[in-house]
Amino acid sequence: MSVRQLWEGTDAAPWIQKLNGRTKLIVLFLFAILTITIDNPRSLFVLFSLTLLLHVAAGTSIYKWKVLAVLLLLGLWGSMFSQALFFAQSTRTPLFVLIESNAGFLGALTGGLYVYREGILYGAVQGLRSASMMSLGLLVCWTSDPRQLLQALLAWRLSPQIAFMLVTAIRFLPVLAAETGEVITALQLRSDSHSGRTAIIRHLPYIAKPLLARCLRRAQTLALSVVSRGFFLASANRQAAMWDWREKFCCITLTLVVAVIVSSKISYLLSEQGLYFGVLRQAYDWTKLYL
C-alpha cells in the first residue's frame, strides 16, 4: 500500500465514508476538548478505547492498524519518557540516575536528572490524551477525502480564496515530495564521495533553493492560469453537501454533553479555589469521581 493510498479513505466502511465532513470535524474537535478536560485515568482510558472501537467499526485495514499502533506506541512512549524525567510530585522513586545533581555544570543546571518510576505511569496516563486525539484524527483522515473536509470548511464560510490555496497545497504536496526526492537524487549524483551519495542529512541545507525556485515558477504559471479563469471573481456558489438531520442532531447532543462536562469541571476547579456552591455538591462528587 502506497503512502497516498494510506491517506485515501477508499477502504473504510461505507457508513463512515458517507458521514458529512462537518460531523467528523465537530466530533473531532469536541473529542479534543473532552480529552483535555478529563483527568480521571479510567475515563481517559475509556475515551481512548472508544476511538479504537470506532476504528474497528470503520473497518480500518490491517495495514492501517499497524501504522496506527506504531504511531500510538511511539507517542505514548514519548509521554512516558518525558514524564519519567520531569515528574514533580511526591512521592517519587528514582529508578536511574542520568545526571547527578552535583555533576558539574549539567548537574547544577538541571538539579539532577532522574528517571522516576511514578513518572512513567503518570506519562502513560497523560499520554492517553494525545493518543486518543491521534487515533480519532487518523480515523477521520483515513475515512475522508480531503475534499469532503474542505467542503465542511467551505460550508462554515471559509473564504474561497483560502480554500483555493488549501486545495493547491494539497494538490502539489505529492509533486513537491517528488521534487524534493529529485533534488536529493541530484545532490547524491553531484557528490564527490561515496559517503556524500548516501548521507541525506548532509544534503538538507541545499534542498531549499531549487525547490523554492521551482515553486515560484509554478506559481507564475498557475497564477496566469487561474486568473484567466476568474480566480478573483470569487462569487463561487459552491453548494455544500446536505447535512443529514440525524448527524446534525448527534452533533448538537454531543456539543451539549461536552458543554456540561466542561462546565462541571470548571465549577469543580473553582470549588477547589474556594468558589463553592452547595447546590452543585452532586456535580462536584461526580466530577471528582469520573472527570
Partner 1 sequence: MRIWILVLLLLSYVQAACAGMKLEAEYPYHLERQGVHTVFEESTVPLYVNIVNFNNPTPVEAEIKITLPQGFMPVTEGTADKWQVQKEQDKIIATTRWSLPEDYGQTFDLLYIESQEAVDFGEKQVLVEASSGEWQESKLLTFTYEAEQAAAATIGKGKPKVDRKKFNWYIQSITFPVDSLGLKDDRAEAGVIYVRDTSLEGFRNRMTGEGATSWSSVFNHPAAHLLLELRNPQSDVRVLKFKAELVDKVTGEVKPGLCTAGKVDDDAEQGWHGNEEEGSETTALISLDGNKAPRFILPLYIDHLKILEGEYNLRITISGNGQEKRYEAPVTIAKKHSIGLLAVGFAFACLVLVIAFSYKIKNCIYIIGAKGAITVALFAAIAFGGITLPTTILGDLLHVFLGPFSGLVTGLLHGVLQYLLIVSLLVLYRTPGVLSLMFVVKFMLSCLMFGHFSPLGVLSCCVSMVVLEATLYFGGFYKHTHSKENFMLLMCVLLGLADAFITFINLEQMMFFYRLYYADWYLALYMVINGLLYSSIGSWLGNKTGLKLRQVMGE
Partner 2 sequence: MMMLRIEDLSYRYLSRHKFTLKKINLQLAQGEMLLLAGRSGCGKSTLIKAISGLLNNNDKGELVGKIYLENEDITNFSPEKIGILVGTVYQSPDDQLFAMTVADEVGFALENQGLEPDYIKEQVSETLRLVGLAGFENYSIHQLSGGQRQRLALASILITKPRLLILDEPVSQMNPQGVQDFLNLLLKLNREEKIAILMVEHRVNELAGYFQRLAVMQAGRIIYDGATENAWSILDGKEDVGLREPQNVKLCRVLELSELSSLHQKVVKLIQNECRLLERAQAVCKSCCAPETRMVEVKNLHYKYPGATKETLHGLDFELCQKQITALMGFNGAGKSTLMNLLGGLAKVEEGKVLLAGEPIQKGLGKIGYLRQEPDLMLLADTVLEELCWKNKSITRDEAEALLVKLNLQDYARDFPLALSKGQRLRVVLGAMLAKKPQLLLLDEPTTGQDEQSLTEIKQLLLDYKNSGGCVFICTHDVELATEVADRVILLSQGEILADAPTEVVLSNRGLLNAGGLTASSLLDVCEEIRVPPCITAEEVKHYVSSSTVGRH
By three-state DSSP, how is residue 274 classified? coil
Task: Tell me if 18 contacts partner 2 by CB under 8 A.
Answer: no
Residue 104, contacted partner among partner 2, partner 1, none, CB below 5-8 A by kind: none
**CB-CB contact of 161 with 238 (8 Å):** no
Residue 138, contacted partner among partner 2, partner 1, none, CB below 5-8 A by kind: partner 1
Give the one residue of 4, 5, 14, 36 binding partner 1; rule: CB under 8 A.
36
Q: Which is nearer to partner 2, 66 or 190 (CB)?
A: 190
Give the one residue of 223, 236, 266, 289 binding partner 1; rule: CB under 8 A.
223
Query: By CB under 8 A, what part of segment 133-152 binds partner 2?
Result: 145-147
Task: Tell me if 197 contacts partner 2 by CB under 8 A.
Answer: yes
Give the one residue of 104, 193, 232, 242 binding partner 1; rule: CB under 8 A.
232
Give the one residue of 60, 75, 203, 251 binding partner 1; rule: CB under 8 A.
75
- CB neighbourhood size of 167 (10 A): 13
Task: Tell me if 170 contacts partner 2 by CB under 8 A.
Answer: yes
Q: Which is nearer to partner 2, 49 or 185 (CB)?
A: 185
Task: Tell me if 211 contacts partner 1 by CB under 8 A.
Answer: yes
Give the one residue of 53, 78, 95, 249 binding partner 1; rule: CB under 8 A.
78
Task: Tell me if 172 contacts partner 1 by CB under 8 A.
Answer: yes
Share of the chain residues as helix, strand and coil, in percent rounded to the nearest 5: 75, 5, 20
Query: By CB under 8 A, what part of segment 241-270 binds partner 2?
Result: none
Q: Alpha-carbon torsion 25, 173, 151, 11, what sign?
A: negative
Residue 137, contacted partner among partner 2, partner 1, none, CB below 5-8 A by kind: partner 1
**CB-CB contact of 251 with 26 (8 Å):** yes
- CB neighbourhood size of 6 (10 A): 15
- CB neighbourhood size of 207 (10 A): 16
CA distance 131 to 53: 14
**CB-CB contact of 119 with 86 (8 Å):** yes
In the complex, the smallest distance separating the C-beta of residue 205 from partner 1, rounded to whole angstroms, is 8
Query: Would strands 113-116 and 94-99 be described as parallel, antiparallel, or unpaired?
Result: antiparallel
Q: How far is CA 119 from CA 44, 54, 216, 280, in A?
A: 17, 30, 49, 33
Task: Tell me if 94 contacts partner 1 by CB under 8 A.
Answer: no
Tell me the CA end-to-end span of the chain in Å, nearest whole number.
40
Helix axis angle, 245-272 to 21-37, nearest 10°: 20
In the complex, the smallest distance separating the C-beta of residue 189 from partner 1, rounded to whole angstroms, is 21
Residue 124, contacted partner among partner 2, partner 1, none, CB below 5-8 A by kind: none
Task: Tell me if 154 contacts partner 1 by CB under 8 A.
Answer: no
Residue closest to 258 by CA, chosen among 21, 28, 50:
28
Residue 280 identity: L
Residue 34, contacted partner among partner 2, partner 1, none, CB below 5-8 A by kind: none
Binding site for partner 2 (CB under 8 A): 4, 145-147, 164, 167-168, 170-172, 174-175, 179, 182-183, 185-194, 196-197, 206, 209-211, 213-214, 217-218, 221-222, 224-239
